[in-house]
Amino acid sequence: MREIVVISGKGGTGKTSITAAFAHLAESKVICDLDVDAPDLHLLLDPAVVREEAFISGHEAVIDPDKCVGCGLCASMCRYDAIDPDGDVYRIAPLRCEGCKVCVAFCPEQAIDFPDRHCGQRYLSDTRFGPMVHAQLFPGQENSGLLVSRLKKEARVLAEERGLDLILCDGAPGIGCPVIASLSQTDLAVVVTEPTPSGVHDLERVAGLCDHFRTKVAVIINKHDLNPEHAGRIDALCSEKGYSLLARLPHDTAVTEAMVRRQAVTEGPDSEIARNIREAWLKITNLLHS
């Protein structure tokens, strides 16, 4: 079983559109959207949910107003300023609560409960390209790295059950916890970048992260024709570091037109960018078996 994750050092590089095209071209795969904070692959793949489960992670403190006597001890001990007066009693702001349990332990009236924290939803869905594992964290919730790890594990189990030999992941942008979790057990990281100063800088950061975890790196330059100078800098970086340069994709309105139709760009009429993505996918399959 092979695993590919498509990532980018910054948002807005076209990563999800390229992942959707790969999902269209790949065979015998499980699709996995690991951008759990702001997922959008479902907008193109239109998944039909088969199973939905709550994502429970950590705990949150909740004050019972019927038991609270308004002593204020919890507020004085909270280091996160998460407890505020509410009339004669106190209440906890859930977005500021870090779940440290200090208030629970020291409340003299035992008026603070500590239930599990419902952080988001996990989904198993069917798409026209095959099964898809995805999730959505609620706004302001944390533990995205843990959720990514669970999605990857579920995708691997699903692939084994169905005899599929590829896991194709749409990763999160940046270099934070969800990206680090995405790179676990990954055979190839496809980094999508663009020819801008920030694009070059963030490519260096995320590729360096892949090098740290000894993950093979391949690069796609999206909209390469917007700035030939910076595209040349990316070419030089790939040559210096030994990264495979899969494609130089042109700026093409076919991508936007496909998004409006809720399709991958390779599903629509033939275009230069669709041909380039097909060639890039062929190079990826060769890299996986080299």
- Residue 52: what pLDDT? 95
Prediction pTM value: 0.88
- Residue 94: what pLDDT? 87
Could you tell me the pLDDT band of residue 189, with boundaries at 50, 70 and 90?
very high
- Residue 221: what pLDDT? 96
pLDDT reading at 140 higher than 80: no
Overall average pLDDT of the 65-92 stretch: 94
> Residues of 15-48 as b/e, b for ≥16 C-beta within 10 angstroms?
bbbbbbbbbbbbeebbbbbbbbbebebbebbebe
pLDDT reading at 267 higher than 90: yes
* 3-state DSSP assignment of residue 212: helix
Cα 105 to the center of its chain, rounded Å: 36
Give the tens place of pLDDT for each residue, 193-219. 999 999 899 999 999 999 999 999 999
pLDDT reading at 43 higher than 80: yes
- Residue 144: what pLDDT? 81
Give the tens place of pLDDT for each residue, 49-64. 999 999 998 888 999 9
Distant-in-sequence, close-in-space partners of 45: CB < 8 Å, separation ≥ 6 = 20, 23, 31, 127, 128, 129, 132
Overall average pLDDT of the 99-105 stretch: 94
Nearest to 130 by CA among 278, 24, 269: 24
Give ∠ CA 248-249-252 in degrees, rounded to 5: 155
Give the tens place of pLDDT for each residue, 145-186. 889 999 999 999 999 999 999 999 999 888 888 899 999 889
Could you tell me the pLDDT band of residue 95, with boundaries at 50, 70 and 90?
confident
Give ∠ CA 38-40-43 in degrees, rounded to 5: 150
Q: 143 or 268, which is more confident?
A: 268
Give ∠ CA 142-33-155 in degrees, rounded to 5: 100
Overall average pLDDT of the 96-122 stretch: 93
Nearest to 277 by CA among 267, 287, 289, 288: 267
Give the tens place of pLDDT for each residue, 221-245. 999 999 999 999 999 999 999 999 9
pLDDT reading at 247 higher than 90: yes
The chain-wide mean pLDDT, for the chain, equals 93
- Residue 75: what pLDDT? 95
pLDDT reading at 5 higher than 90: yes
